[in-house]
Structure 1
Amino acid sequence: MLAEGRGLGMHVAITADRPGSVPTGISSAFQRRVALRLADEGGYLLLDAPADILSPSSPPGRAVIDGAEAQLAIVGGDPGVAEQAKALGALAEAIARTGRAPAAGVGTLGTEIPPASLPADVGGLPVLGVSDDTLAPVGFEPSGAMVLSGPPASGRTNALRWLIASVERAHPKVTRYYFGSPRSVIGQLPGWEATALTVEDAGSLAKEVAATIAETGAGEKILVVIEQIGDFLSTSADSALVEMIKAAKRSDHLLIAENESGGWGSSWPLLQEVKAARTGFLLQPESMEGDTILKTSLPRVSRADFPPGRGFFIARGKSMRVQLPLVE
């Protein structure tokens, strides 16, 4: 804002209790400095002014401006706080009468976004969540393979429930298949065409789904969810799941594979096949996880800056910080 805003007509004023509290990178962006009486006389030297230019006996409002001693004006002409507040109110009313629109507030990304506040789709795409840079809903392409990753207590279950619901909102006739644990609340959701809750069932259902994906036309939508995909590594269902993932990546249908952050580091073909799509949502990620999981660099971040449900959506080599809504 400081470096590029001037060319856009933006003006910035900041205050600080001493010159040293302003970082050099910020201080260098300002052309004018107004120094009121400082507790540390050495601070005047940083402003190219004599150290004794102001003293404790200097009246309030006495300042150093452009190297010269000056007296700041009093709003309203009366030093009383109440009188100054009235004068500022009158100034605001005078500005409003000129027809200038009030400045828009600076928004922040919410931590608990109700699904009802989001549209059914964004340009025909399912809604992913609210973007950090625009504070507006963003969509995602419901095709191919998608990684869902995050540490414990990061909101992975809520994220998976929302992605399922979002695809259904955009495609009400979607056909859904589930692979995972019999203890999962995701597998107990209504509306699954079929579920595989054991390794044996996963192998047979994966073959059926792969064939169905290959035969289903573009007018229909299939959603495949694999929860805790790491549980199927090196099992009898492993190779069948790999073939199903390949079929999904060749189609216009969507496959979501969920796993804990630390479980994606392996080079097993089952995981590599999903990661190779380089598309996914990383909840509360560490900076290195963008490269290790989806080969996309992330900004320097800390997990402490990410509440549950917030992370980076990665697609086509680009990342976007997004907050997912909280499913009831």
Structure 2
Amino acid sequence: MLDVLVRQGRSLGMYLVLANQDVNSHVDQLLNNVGWRIALKVAKPEEIQIIERGLPSPVRAGQGYLRLSSGASEIIEFQAGYAGFPVKTRSEAGEETFRIFEVEPDGAYREVWKQTLTSSLVMEAEALPPKEEEFILNNIRQAARALNIRPARRIYLDPLPATIPFEAVIEEAGIQPVFREGKWFPGEDSLHVVAYWGKVDVPELCLQDVLSLDFDGKDGHLWIVGAPQSGLELALSSLIMSLALRYTPEQVQFYMVELGAGELAPFETLPHTGAVIYPQHDDPQEIERLRRLFNLLEQVFQERSKATKGMRGKATPRPALFVVINSFGELRANFPDEADRLTRFVRDGGRLGIHLIIASARGPELTRSISNMIARRLVLQLVSKDDYLDIIGKPVPPLSKSIPGRGYWVDDGIAIAQVTTPPANVHEQMQAMREAWHGVTPAPVEILPAEIPLTALLKEDSRTLLPVGRAYETLETIAVPLEENPTWLILGPRESGKSNFLACAARWALEREKGAQWEVRVYALRRSPLTALQERFSRLRVLSVPEDIVQDVQQLIEVLQQGEMSEGKRLLILIDDLGFAFQPGREALAQAFNTLGRLLEGQEHVVLIASGLLDELRMQLASPLVKLLRQNRTGLVLSQNTSEADWLGASIPLAYRRMDLPLGRGYFVHKGRLQLVQTPRWEK
């Protein structure tokens, strides 16, 4: 561009003064169009040739040659004046006059300013006098003001300041926040969600403007990348607050995944925020919340895809959902499956109002399948020049100053950007926004609790169905009619919740308000918490001594054989640790249970629920009771042991096998169909 200005500048009324420390190929290209030349003291004698060959090189500072281009080139040797000396003091100056002349077209001088230096204009002897340069410039400024001479129009703008107040950008953009003066006001009915969150500077165009981002344009996403201390937290905060203050929670909602240093934690207060998730390997509940967030996004994606089919050109679905991910590198390293699931939302989510804001410390942290689909990027301070090239796609000079929030804005072109500082008292403001909002809020990302009191499930139902627990996928209560499922097998290792479920089944049957009256018999073959129930219910019989159990089972067999069950009565048999009955020395107990097993098949008023260890039961496949329990394919598997699920004719999905199961969590199997559930906790 400089060579064009040198060739054509005069015709445009532009005169250039060019200075350089040496003569090089770039200077040589300009000399043919440069009229006047000055050469001062040079490092290489041959460089004086820009004036004329053979001239001796100047030796003093300020000594040099002037070559004039008018007519035959005229060369003048000169010694430049030095304006760095101090101004004369009053005692030295006497009376001097300062004049400014205008040079007429014919070369004549016309005086335009005159000022006589008096004692009031010259520094006192005892004070530090200004330099002549400062004094002359000051007189020129005074003359310009006195003569009403307007300053020359600047051909450049100052660099962006290091800090830009949030309020200044909002005012310049002409935006009225929807939350102001402690109140919510109706949001504008806009087809586009636009954030105003900084300033951009394009030096080559001498242009500075508000940094705005239309999320309903292009792909609808944003990538922010910056090294530590680059202001990445500042950029996220400013962007989130810009959206939250301009749009209501009915228009814009946030779901955030925090894998960094907690920068997103404060925004949990916003009424726009559905969840801030902190996934860590040692926190299974947060891992579950992360998976449920992606399931929620999948559900919204599917619903909006169906709703917008055939509606090309119509408005983007609302509310706009923003998924903010801080430290994508950590997500990709620790949760690769979830990171891969983002690809679909990056590709097609923008048109459905699902927008991603991804923050990373380095460019390579994003897979190419994701980064190639995100057009808008804020590139903050990075470590090396190559890092900029990889993200921006073309060479750019490294940012000269390490200013938090300063970076390159990549959109249709490349500009220098500075994000705003968040609003003053941002935490108090977010709290006030939540307290003042009474409208629609985002759907929370709920998880399956590690403990569910039995009373909580009993309140949900009319007590006609046995509450098995809450389903992992739907978070809904699973309850079944016990009469229609007469035989259950509960498998799992020790202390997995088998006895707890039997206790819940007993309490449910004994506290039923409707239907038939239940009698409950508990055979606790090893130490069992079920013995604590006997004192509370008269219709409950708990036996733990093997001889007593044999006698009671034989009596029950006689009742069943003679058909002496009272009409309207039902019997619930609970066997805790069935495998104990087949230990050596327990032959009488095993024989009694096997006889009972032969009688129970086809009984309408008797329900059997037995628990046991697979290692003990798998050796008793010939037992009529074990065979009956297994062939009905109904019960619980309270472990990740695929062999236990196979015993009930079911298979554990691969997606579940890597999960850690808290106490009481397992798989409800009904006729071979498997569901992951959290069983209720019996409150003693």
TM-score normalised according to structure 2 size = 0.40
Q: Give the corresponding residue for 2:341.
A: 26
- Which residue does 1:308 correspond to in 2? 663
From 293, 298, 302, the counterpart of 2:652? 298
Give the whole-Å Cα distance in 2 for the aligned partners of 1:213 and 1:65.
82
The 2-side partners of 1:205 and 1:70 are apart by 87
Residue equivalent to 1:144: 486
Q: What residue identity is the alignment partner of 2:593?
A: L
- Tell whether 2:525 aligns with 1:181: yes
Query: How many Å apart are 1:16 and its aligned residue?
Result: 4.0
CA contact (8 A) 1:290 1:298 kept: no
Relative to structure 1, is the Cα distance of residues 259 and 290 closer, same or farther in structure 2, using a 3 angstrom cutoff? closer
- Aligned to 1:244, which of 596, 619, 623? 596
Q: 2:327 maps to which residue?
A: 17
Residue matched to 1:323 = 679
Residue identity matched to 1:299: P
Higher relative contact order structure (alpha carbons within 8 Å, sequence separation ≥ 6): 1
The amino acid of 2:300's aligned partner reads G
Say which of 201, 205, 215 aligns to 2:552: 205
**1:264-309: CA deviation from partner (whole Å, max 9, x where unpaired):** 43343242321221111222x0241443331211134469722222
Cα distance between partner residues in 1 of 2:574 and 2:447: 32
Describe the shift of the 1:82–1:291 C-alpha distance in structure 2 as closer, same or farther (beyond 3 A): same
1:114 matched to 2:453: yes
State the alpha-carbon separation in 2 of the partners of residues 326 and 155 from structure 1.
10
Question: Is 1:162 the equivalent of 2:504?
Answer: yes
Give the distance between the partners of 2:618 and 2:396, measured in 1 at CA.
63
Structure 1 segment 232-311 matched on structure 2, within 5 A? 232-233=581-582, 235-252=587-604, 253-268=606-621, 269=623, 270-283=625-638, 285-300=639-654, 301=656, 305-311=660-666
Cα distance between partner residues in 2 of 1:93 and 1:189: 47
Aligned residues: 321
SS at match of 2:469: strand
Give the superposition deviation at 1:181.
3.4
Please give the alpha-carbon distance, in whole angstroms, between the structure 2 residues aligned to 1:264 and 1:16.
Answer: 50
Please give the alpha-carbon distance, in whole angstroms, between the structure 1 residues aligned to 2:387 and 2:558.
76
- Aligned residue for 1:306, secondary structure, equals coil
Which secondary structure state, in structure 2, belongs to the residue aligned with residue 128 of structure 1?
strand
How far residue 146 of structure 1 moved from its aligned partner, in angstroms, is: 0.9
5+ residue gaps, structure 2, are 1-293, 305-319, 348-372
RMSD: 3.9
Mean Cα displacement is larger for which, 271-280 or 6-15?
A: 6-15
CA distance in 2, matches of 1:250, 1:79: 75
The answer to whether the Cα contact below 8 Å between 2:453 and 2:680 also exists between their aligned partners in 1 is no
Q: 2:665–2:676: 8 Å Cα contact kept in structure 1? A: no
CA distance in 1, matches of 2:487, 2:456: 27
Instruction: Please say if 1:5 is aligned against 2:300.
Output: yes
1:40-71 CA deviation, whole Å, 9 max, x = no partner? 66666776733648747486264555674367
Do the aligned partners of residues 189 and 57 (structure 1) sit closer, same or farther apart at CA in structure 2, a change above 3 Å counting?
same
The whole-number CA distance in structure 2 between the counterparts of 1:220 and 1:85 is: 63
Q: 1:11 to 1:225 in 2, by over 3 A?
A: same
Q: Distance in 1 between matches of 2:456 and 2:602?
A: 34
Separation in structure 1 between the aligned mates of residue 591 and residue 634 of structure 2, nearest angstrom: 22
The 8 Å contact of residues 510 and 520 in structure 2, kept in 1 or not, is answered as: no
Whole-Å separation in 2 of the counterparts to 1:18 and 1:129: 36
Counterpart CA distance in 1 for 2:415 and 2:433 is: 24
d(CA) in 2 for partners of 1:320, 1:56: 56
Give 2:210's aligned residue: none
Contact 2:642 2:652 in 1 (8 A): yes
Relative to 1, partners in 2 of residues 1:70 and 1:232: Cα closer, same or farther, differing over 3 Å? farther
Q: Report which stretch shifted further, 225-234 or 127-136.
A: 127-136
SS at 1:112 equivalent: coil
Residue type of the alignment partner of 2:678: V
> Is residue 499–residue 576 contact of structure 2 (8 Å, CA) maintained in 1?
no
2:523 & 2:570 partners in 1: Cα distance? 18
2:667–2:677 CA contact under 8 A, matched in 1: yes
Q: Is the 8 A contact 2:630 2:648 kept in 1?
A: yes
* Residue 140 to residue 4, structure 1, CA distance change in 2 (3 Å): closer
Identity, % of aligned positions: 17
Q: What's the CA shift string for 1:174-207, capped at 9, x where partnerless?
A: 1112223385442463235655545454444334
The answer to whether the 8 Å contact 2:518/2:539 transfers is no
Instruction: Report the Cα offset of residue 131 of structure 1.
Output: 2.9
**Would the alpha carbon gap of residues 261 and 302 (structure 1) be closer, same or farther in structure 2, given more than 3 Å must change?**
farther
The amino acid across from 1:117 in the alignment is: A
| Structure 2 CA distance for partners of 1:55 and 1:131, relative to 1, 3 Å | same
SS at match of 1:226: strand
2:618 alignment partner AA: G
- What secondary structure is seen at the aligned counterpart in 2 of 1:139? strand
Indicate which of 206, 223, 228 corresponds to 2:577: 228
